[in-house]
Chains A and B, each alone.
Chain A
Amino acid sequence: MNDQSIAAPAGRKIPDRLDSPAKAAVFSWPSLLLAVAVGIFILNSFASPYFLSPWSLSDATFNFTEKGLIALAMALLIISGEIDLSVAAIIALASTAMGLALQFGVDTPGLVAIGVLTGVLCGMFNGFLVTRLGLPSIVVTIGTMSFFRGISYIVLGDQAFKGYPDSFDFFGQGYVFWVVSFEFAFFLVCALVYYVVLHRTNFGRQIFVIGNNPVAARFSGVRVERVKFILFCLTGLMSGLAAVALTSRLASTRPSIAFAWELEVVTIVVLGGVSILGGSGTIQGVVIAAFIMGLVTFGLGLLNVPGIVMSIFIGALLIGVIALPILISRLRQRMAK
């Protein structure tokens, strides 16, 4: 396009970039989301006098930390062009495994290990089906979603595991400092780790390349299957960790635990600006999106809006936040003409 066939003198200099990175950051998706989050925060504080108290803010975080944990790994997976719809079922299976181990007298460290390990194994199973057999992840994980949760149903039926040891309570109910819950602190640490991995390492760069063009990635020496396999394992791992936190918070395991969470997790990721088609997205965006989900749910809860109605706002937010920029740019184009 901007290429002239006539040879020009060699030795031309090509600048690194034209726009400064700071300028790009200001006009980015996370900034827009941050504005939305601040707006909701302000609305919430007007809506209820209780909202601004430290303890209620702390309570608000429980609405999204477990889903947020999974969303971090899911973001990487979706950027690489895959998806895992079985995450909520992995929670169910991991929680069931912990409950089962409990019946055999396993204590807290063992329970945590079993929960996390189950998650990783589930992730490996998904990863194996997708990367080794070359199957589309969306259908594979719809299958494993039924399969994993199905096993929980076989084990538990309409029963529940209860009676987790007191020391196990810490993961979902404990506080590390004042109002800062263990879950929330853990989420922040994980978010930082995922930020570094995705945006500051070779591995993260390879994820973006794979999501944009898996063939060119392979032809450039990226071990595409291995990277994807690792991402499925990570998603399983995070689901296992979320299972530990959630089981501890609820202090029980039912097979219906975390039902339909997969769609909420995907919603957080997409709301966070990750392209569902793969290839782009940021951890900052996902973290802010998780906060937004938590704030909306909690704010509406303060207003005594039932949970099911909140879902209207979440759904509208998901579509609206994506549709709005498209509509605005359309309008601009029309104005320009």
Chain B
Amino acid sequence: MKRLLRTREIWLGAAVAAIIIATELRAPGFGSLRNLMEVFNNTSILMILALGQMAVILTRSIDLSMASNLALSGMLVALTNAAYPGIPVPVLMLMATGFGLVLGAFNGALVWRLGIPAIVVTLGTLTIFRGLIFVIAGGQWVNADQMTTDFVQYTRIPVLGLPLLSWYAIAIAVGFFVMMTRTSIGRAIYAIGVNPTASVYAGIDVGRTKFLAFCISGALSGFCGYLWVSRYVIGSVEVANGYELTVVAACVIGGISIAGGVGSVAGALLGALFLGVINSALPVINISPFWQMAISGAAIIFAVVLNGRTNKSRGRLILKSAETVK
């Protein structure tokens, strides 16, 4: 299965590469390193969010409030930056992350302590967080001229040719990989997704692990709140509206099973990159960007059908010719 998993990611990687090559053939320059770095940079936020969503989905839950959390945390730091330009940006980043974490912990606590299904909790907080943006901002936008240079630059400064934004994504991806494969919390997240009952007997606290997964997705959403506001130089109620489902889509395309327990960091990243590459490729080959949504929808359906196929072929007992299998 590990082999199978690996081939799945290889296939997805191949699909991404194929799109890049096909686009390059139609529009030379798309496959250049500079452009690809640009595409990567554009997809950074989606990748980070997909990782957070993955942690939650692996535990058999879902976090629909990520985009609202992002927008609320982003608005908070944008307002803070506008009001107190003296606060250094790293502090604001921490503030966004911490605030997002608190929002995630709120979701997690409701799931853990009250046993309310995650989809219901986050459906509720999705609208609550979105509404709170309007309240804290008094219905106003935060515009480019209200932000400090540092605030805007901390996603743009190039390091080794890549903007900082990309480096944040890379650092988080590496950290996430280590967490998911090398630490008890990472393995616990997988374990409770595969078999919650067995996890209890293995000494894993299922509720607490779910709670932590929500904290992780919350913290990453919060951090992305800063990244989004800084990158697009706008803080408003409309920021990332409806984006939660794009994040789920990235995970689904990346092969993360909605039933929990199955999925990898590479899958989540490739799922996000797949969507990112399509987004960038469409305008280049003169297809109206309005095609984007239908294509990503078709990609999700295709990915799900494919997942279903691989799931079905196994899990069947072959009794008569058991020897040939074992």
Contacts and interface: CB of A to CB of B under 8 A. Distances in A.
Q: Do A and B come from one complex?
A: yes
Interface of A: 85, 129, 133-136, 138-140, 142-151, 153-154, 156-158, 255, 259-260, 263, 266-267, 270, 276-277, 306, 308-316, 318-319, 322-323, 326-327
A223 to B, nearest CB: 20
Given A263-B126, A315-B126, A322-B116, A139 B294 contact: no
Given A143-B301, A150-B293, A310-B131, A318 B123 contact: yes
Contacts of B237: 308
Contacts of A142: 245, 248-249, 252, 300
A156 B290 CA distance: 9
Contacts of A322: 116, 120
A150 B295 contact: yes
Q: Please provide the 6 A-B residue pairs with the shortest distance between their CB atoms, ordered closest to farther.
A: A150-B294, A146-B297, A147-B297, A143-B300, A312-B131, A150-B293
Contacts of A147: 293-294, 297-298, 300-301
A135 B257 CA distance: 11
Contacts of A309: 131, 134-135
A319 B294 CA distance: 33
B90 interface: no
Contacts of B241: 260
Interface of B: 62, 64, 110, 114-117, 119-121, 123-128, 130-135, 139, 237, 241-242, 245, 248-249, 252, 258-259, 288, 290-301, 303-305, 307-308, 312
Contacts of B307: 135
Contacts of B299: 143
A312 B135 contact: yes
B120 A319 contact: yes
B124 A306 contact: no
A303 B132 CA distance: 18
Contacts of B242: 259-260
Contacts of A263: 64, 123, 126-127
Given A136-B259, A150-B297, A153-B290, A143 B124 contact: no
A153 to B, nearest CB: 4
11 contacts: A135-B308, A136-B258, A140-B301, A142-B248, A145-B297, A147-B300, A154-B288, A154-B294, A306-B139, A315-B131, A319-B110
A199 B258 CA distance: 31
Nearest to B288: A157
A319 B131 contact: no
A157 B287 CA distance: 12
Contacts of A156: 290
Contacts of B110: 319, 323
Contact of B290 (A143, A154, A306): A154
Contact of B116 (A148, A260, A313, A323): A323
Given A308-B131, A311-B131, A312-B132, A129 B301 contact: yes
B294 A323 contact: no
Nearest to B134: A308
Contacts of B308: 133-135
Nearest to B115: A326
Nearest to A146: B297
A153 B294 contact: yes
Interface SS of B by simple majority = helix
B135 A266 contact: no
A314 B303 CA distance: 34
A318 B114 CA distance: 14
A276 B119 contact: yes
Contacts of B132: 312
A211 to B, nearest CB: 14
Nearest to A143: B300
Contacts of A153: 290-294
B120 A143 contact: no
A282 to B, nearest CB: 17
B127 A311 contact: yes
A139 B295 contact: no
Contacts of B139: 306
Nearest to B303: A143
Contact of A143 (B127, B135, B259, B297): B297
Contacts of B301: 129, 140, 143-144, 147
Contacts of B249: 142-143, 146
Given A147-B298, A311-B131, A326-B116, A135 B293 contact: no
A312 B72 CA distance: 13
Contact of A154 (B245, B252, B291, B312): B291
A87 to B, nearest CB: 13
A242 to B, nearest CB: 19
B292 A145 contact: no
A315 B297 contact: no
B287 to A, nearest CB: 10
A312 B128 CA distance: 4
Contacts of A138: 62, 119, 258
Contacts of A145: 245, 297
A143 B291 contact: no
Contacts of B114: 323, 326-327
A149 B124 contact: no
Contacts of A323: 110, 114, 116
Contacts of B133: 308
A260 B130 CA distance: 13
A311 B304 contact: no
A145 B298 CA distance: 10
A267 B123 contact: yes
A300 B124 CA distance: 18
Contacts of B312: 134
Contacts of B296: 146, 150
Contacts of B294: 146-147, 149-151, 153-154
B141 to A, nearest CB: 13
A276 B124 contact: no
A212 to B, nearest CB: 16
A308 B130 contact: yes
A17 to B, nearest CB: 28
